[in-house]
Structures are given as structure tokens and as C-alpha cells.
Amino acid sequence: MASSSSKLTLKLLIDAKREKVLFAEASKAVIDFLFNLLCLPIGTVIRILNKSQMVGSLANLYESVENLDETYMQPDQNKDLLLKPSAPMSSRISGLLPSANDTSSDNSSNLFYGCPVHLGYYVAFDNTALCPVQSCRRTMDTVLRVVGKKDANEISAEKSGFVKEVVTYMVMDDLIIQPMSSISSLTLLNKFNLKEVGVLQEKVVELDMNQGVSLLKASLQSKTVLTDVFLKNHSAP
């Protein structure tokens, strides 16, 4: 989870009469987290949400792989490639999603893994990855550590992620995202056909891991994501 010094927040503009989030003001870190949802492999999404929360039949597909005996797999393949695909490190940039890799005993961002035979040739973020050398295919579980004066945690936040930290971003209830401006805000208020300005309320909510998972789930099921997570679930502080 994100540390107390780096908590992420959203400023919601709410239509109190309709109990609906019109849009939210968000920082670069929040936008990076939302964009990172697009990087998650389907297998990782299923593991984070649990099979019981998945809509459709993908959970059944996942369970079929779980139940399939290893003897039916190709000799150079491993079920973990499907059940525990390597999620990019950036998917945990804000600490809003649990790690999908429960086989690692060290969550340090300075840890990488290598093949015990071809050490130094390939590096993996996930200790369940297989060596890409076809004649090897050993699990890359040899721990490699980044050392030196500048570690991975000291990389400037402004230069990481996907978007630049030059403006505030606007997040719509259906997760349409765009740079925010006074003109765009006024245009949206006109689009919502608001007759009473008095019904508008501002609310700042803090994001935690529970809400990060809720945002992921709602993004797969709903067109009113922010309303569902922060108003209907009453999960905002």
C-alpha cells in the first residue's frame, strides 16, 4: 500500500441531487495508476479480483487451467505462465493493487531475478518466469539486487509513469480522461444541463488498496465507475 507520505487523492464534483459523480480532478500519479490497468494481463486481473467476482466465462477458463494435470502440458510450458503471468512493475506504482505474485518473499522494488545457468544474460521482474533459452527453460529464481547510490525508489516520479505532471487531469465517471481546464469544466457543466448550482458538492477522497481493487473491478463492469466506487459503495473516507 502507498505510504502515508504518498497517499493519492481525488477531488470529486458530485451532483448531490442525482447522487452521481460528474467528474474528478486527479494528479499524474492517479492517472498513471488508471492507465496501468491497461497493462495488466488477464490472468493477473482474475487473481486480483478472485474468480467469484469475474463477469463472464474467463474465470471458468482460468479454473480449467488450474485443474488441468501438468502431464497434458507441453514439456517446455508451465501452467504458471497462464495462471501467474508477469505483471509489469509499473502496475504497482502507487501501491493501489495487491501484488499478483505471491511466490516472492521480498517485495523490494530493487529485486530482480535471473536464470541460474544463464545468469547475466536475461533479467526478470517475476521469479516464476522461465529462461527464454529454449534448451534451458529453467525458472529464473536467482535473486539479483540493484546496488549503488541511486536505487529504484529514487527515480524521479516526474520522469516515470505515462503522463507528465504539468496539469491537473479530469477523470469522467466512465473513466474518460483529459487534461483539465476552466473551459473544459464549464463545457461539461453545460453538457450535464445543471439547473441548480447549489446541488454541486466537492469531496476529496483518499485512495487505498481496497478502492484500487474496486476501481479495477468497476472498470470492467460499469459506465459509472467513480459513482459506484465512491458513492454507492460508501468506501470513501
* Cβ neighbours, 10 Å, residue 68: 12
Read off the pLDDT of each residue in 45-72 and give the average, rounded to a whole number.
Answer: 88
CA angle 218, 29, 210 (to 5 degrees): 40
Residue 136 has pLDDT above 70, yes or no: yes
All 3 cell numbers of residue 123?
533479467
Within the chain, strands assigned E span 8-15, 20-26, 111-114, 142-145, 169-172, 177-179, 200-207
Inter-residue contact 48 to 215 (CB < 8 Å)? no
The residue ranking higher by pLDDT, 168 or 153, is 168
Amino acid (1-letter code) at residue 208: D
Residue 106 has pLDDT above 50, yes or no: no
Read off the pLDDT of each residue in 173-200 and give the average, rounded to a whole number.
Answer: 81
Within 37-159, strands assigned E span 111-114, 142-145
CA angle 85, 118, 133 (to 5 degrees): 55
Per-domain residue ranges of the chain:
110-151
**What is the tens place of the pLDDT at every residue in 20-43?**
999 999 999 999 999 989 888 898
Residue 87, judged by CB atoms within 10 A of its CB (0-12, 13-18, 19+), counts as buried
Amino acid (1-letter code) at residue 18: R
Inter-residue contact 117 to 131 (CB < 8 Å)? yes
Q: What is the pLDDT of residue 149?
A: 52
Give CA separation, 197 vs 19, 66, 183, 190, in Å. 14, 54, 17, 11
- Residue 93 — very low, low, confident or very high, per pLDDT cuts 50/70/90? low
Inter-residue contact 138 to 95 (CB < 8 Å)? no
Q: What is the DSSP letter of 226?
A: H
pTM summary value: 0.70
124-128, 143-147, 179-183, 197-201: least confident range: 143-147
Q: What is the DSSP letter of 120?
A: T
Q: What is the DSSP letter of 156?
A: -
Give CA separation, 135 vs 67, 78, 118, in Å. 28, 15, 11
Cα(128)–Cα(44) distance, integer angstroms? 13
Residue 178: strand pairing partners: 170
Q: What is the DSSP letter of 129?
A: P
Residue 171 has pLDDT above 90, yes or no: yes
Q: What is the pLDDT of residue 70?
A: 87
Give CA separation, 161 vs 8, 35, 53, 88, 228, in Å. 15, 9, 28, 12, 26
Read off the pLDDT of each residue in 206-228 and give the average, rounded to a whole number.
Answer: 92
Look at the chain and count its residues.
237
Residue 169 has pLDDT above 90, yes or no: yes
- Residue 201 — very low, low, confident or very high, per pLDDT cuts 50/70/90? very high
